[in-house]
Amino acid sequence: MTCSSTRTSEVEKLTAEYRHVPVMLEEVLRELDPKPGDIVCDCTLGGAGHTVELARRVAPNGLSLGIDQDDMALAAASARFEREVPEGQHQFLKGNFGDLDDLLVKAQVPGVDCFLFDLGVSSPQLDLPERGFSYNEDAPLDMRMDPGKHTQTAAEVINTYTEADLARILSVYGDERFASRIAREVCRRREKAPIETTFELVDAIKAAIPAAARRHGGHPARKSFQALRLEVNHELEVLERGLEAAIRWANPGGRICVISYHSLEDRIVKHLFGVYSQGCTCPPDFPVCVCGPVPIIRVKTSKPLVASEEELERNPRARSAKTRVAVKL
């Protein structure tokens, strides 16, 4: 089999796997309320599940933008879009939404009417064993969203960070109760030989967690792998940059919708929405404002939206999803 035919079959496989029900689709469509002719931007394109539904509502004169770091995901999304929304216009861009400013300049759009960020990472391409995201498959410890970039891998984090830094990452990013014990065990093992594969790290984690605790709460490595993924890809810093750029690029009346799955992500979204919706904070008896802040957005969701019980039955992945929405003033 040739390289081109192998790649084609991989894209077809990914396209088929991507046909899942996108999380909180009904709420996303209601809150973003895309109109014919709008410019919509899915900053986390994945398999284009949300995008194709948004595109149907802005076609034929609207434009659907999509951003993803993974070449195979972009190919699968393009194939799906062209098949399901042939009348729609789209530009799918390779990149990270942390670089949203540059990507939108490249797309040559004057502004955007609807932004969507779906921060979940259960995309099929991340389940490829060689990417090192899975604790159920033995593979090199990589975890980079874009392996083409020469950035640090999970193996480099595990083998070079101090015990204190490892414990901090596992605790803060993973909410791992046994963070200190795991960091200590990792450092003990790497003195003998580097930890280079997912299973080597899983073994270290299991050895550090008491047997009684391993019997509850899912796979014992789940939280540690999540923490490492966040650290390797700087996901929280990227989220801040991407959201701030979306606020800048949103047209007046434009909507920004963010679906998060992690308490740290939701906290960042809530904080930034709060900062940019903040108006005057002068005491009420001041005759004129002297503090200066002018609100840029209006927050539509005082509390985050969550998935309905009906959706949870169809799509358990939505259980931890929280959706916040803001409107550009």
CA distance 160 to 300: 44
Mean pLDDT, 10 residues at a time, the chain of 329 residues: 51 54 94 98 94 97 95 90 97 96 98 95 69 93 85 96 98 96 98 98 98 90 95 95 98 98 94 92 81 90 96 90 98
Strands 39-42 and 112-118: parallel
Pick the closest to residue 299 from 256, 245, 241 (CA basis): 256
Please name the residue that has the structure tokens 């393009």: 78
- pLDDT, position 197: 97
210 cis-preceded (ω within 30 degrees of 0)? no
3-state secondary structure at position 303: coil
Length of the chain, please? 329
Other C-beta atoms lying within 10 Å of the C-beta of residue 71: 15
CA distance 267 to 21: 26
Phi, psi of 38 (to 5 degrees): -70, 160
CA distance 180 to 201: 15
Contacts 24+ apart (CB under 8 A), 182-191: 182/208, 182/209, 182/224, 184/208, 186/158, 187/163, 190/158, 190/159
- pLDDT, position 283: 83
Structure-block tokens of residue 177: 């109760």
* Residue 187 contacts residue 167 (beta carbons within 8 Å): no
3-state secondary structure at position 108: coil
Structure-block tokens of residue 242: 């991407």
Structural domains of the chain sorted by starting position, each given as residue range(s) with its CATH number in brackets = 3-124+235-328 (3.40.50.150), 146-232 (1.10.150.170)
Pick the closest to residue 249 from 94, 118, 110, 97 (CA basis): 110
- pLDDT, position 12: 56
CA distance 158 to 190: 9
- pLDDT, position 123: 57
Structure-block tokens of residue 278: 């903040």
Other C-beta atoms lying within 10 Å of the C-beta of residue 177: 14
- pLDDT, position 105: 98
Q: What is the DSSP letter of 307?
A: -
Pick the closest to residue 258 from 174, 317, 321 (CA basis): 321
- pLDDT, position 15: 54
Pick the closest to residue 21 from 45, 44, 50, 42 (CA basis): 50
